[in-house]
Structure 1
């Protein structure tokens, strides 16, 4: 391994490859252990492999770090990562902490950490430098403190090892993560730290993250927020997800939050709560794209280009008689976006309806909706009331959330064997050499780590 100095914040999200060049996963953090006098030693990396499972990879298995990628040469234990006593996650626990300079020149905040190969045999990595920012000296809101590099020996931490200071730097580090990955990252943090980071996220970002979390964590985070903030976050959630979350709360708290929400958003949520959770009405999204029969292909394509539109909702457009807000006038049919692409921009959508697609009623069972989507290879199915008025659509992601176990996002340990077989099968199908595995004891494998 050639000598390197790498900044940890830049490692977040880097792809890990096996010797054959096949992708193994992505780096989510770096794990270190403190020593008496020497700088903290790097134990390994926390890597996210397919299935959003986070596992430990010994630093001894790394052969190259650079150019936004990491090459490894050994086994990775697919057992879900669990932090051990004395281990510290650099990104999750060190960034944002306060340090003081031993020469008495003041305090600073850790913004990044450099790790470097140590020793003549270059078989060990350790923290070599800290990138820190001193407090700003100007009252101007645009002013920032001076940034400097500091050796580990030049500073002293002002808090207990492993204790996090501020969520600001962690949020900045994971700013590029999609909501599902950020939710998975937060679930790996200690509860207190998870609540701290969640509290610092913007309302819309937190809403997206909550939609990707198990119900227990959703309720816990919402309980840590004040009523006004919680209502603002619920306003930014998809109505069906907000309804599912409010249904888990005590009735009194749920009603309080509904009263504080924006009236239109609250009305949508109340409407969904009126249906049983295992019916089309309980699963549906009440905000599909709805147009008149006279709308053109050009208008339809413009509507599905909206950046904030979920892909499943953009797969088809609903055509109804007025009014065009659920419950609409009589439902006429759906037009799939692929069909729109085959016709000129001026073509009326009323002439392109899918004549073979029948809507379901709001009381149709979730099992029947699942069968319809699977049988006809659909991404969404329209939902109508007893008067054939459109009230919403059930999308494939709504059905998947219903069909999967309630704790599917948590990756419980009893799923380890399933994940291992899936990972091995994926490696075989791509023609790569087997890389991921367990040793006979189920412990971490790697040079000198256990």
Structure 2
């Protein structure tokens, strides 16, 4: 085979790999253990770096992401294969090896390619591209429909909840008192309570969802920048258990006692300083400062500590990813101590997403500050991995800082959050 023929065969090989969808590649690469997370997305442990829910694929967007990856994620099967196989796509041999993993066959060698074989390959590639384009369009429509259905369900669940001031809200009020050292709280009109909320996890032999627990739950809305409820955050309550939340397990697996439904990205959980305005939840005029952290309890603890300032909106982001937003892949760095095994069992340095926001990101990629806000206090958790959390908080700071707006970060002592500190202080008093 001449150099020109070899180049043509390799180019076709690469183009064929590029036409493979994330869903097809994930199946071919043996990605398993992912669970549906709404809007065409599935999440679970990363096959390359572990964790429990740091990895996800979105078939509607043809994208993957991993919070343990410096790159953060990608929008093609080749980058997914490179992440799972530890390949460096900046090197030609690494890029071709990733293409080979996607297609499940080796890179073309020196065997000559006949005109007939070339024509067949090109025709096959054209068919694959056309099929993928049609499939992607269909999945995008289905994902949009699914997203709207999930948002409607989440909205309905929040609306069905009882006000915390009512008798039905007693368990939620006592839960917050337990987590916040018994301190008085202002009215929390955006938080609601459900008396007997099922906790769904896994399927039975017939493929039907199974409720492994049922009990009282606190439900909070996620609202977009226009104040529309797009999702809800659920916290199951067991006042006899540690921190007031039930211990949920399936086999050896510890399950989270908090879940989210509908959409959360780009939305925030309004706590104090927001008002109900018809079907929308909007900031009170005159509140030009915002205090926001990952969790509800941590933000309320800071509010208690500073006396719930009248100029401040208190809100939660739901999780660190929504607070920080995606990172610029170029800002990733090697963790100073942690490593992880690759698919071949070789220990590799763990890459951490960096402190620089991804350029050109969409406002819906992470929580936004209302236009009236000119000062933001970011509330950090001290009980999370410090290097990744530190980079994420710096990323949030850089993302939310604009002309005329200042952003600061509040850090609790290592190994604690502000709600823990408040409880300890109350117990010691």
The reply to whether TM is greater than 0.5 is no
**What TM-score comes out, normalization by structure 1 length?**
0.27
Q: Which has the higher strand share?
A: 2
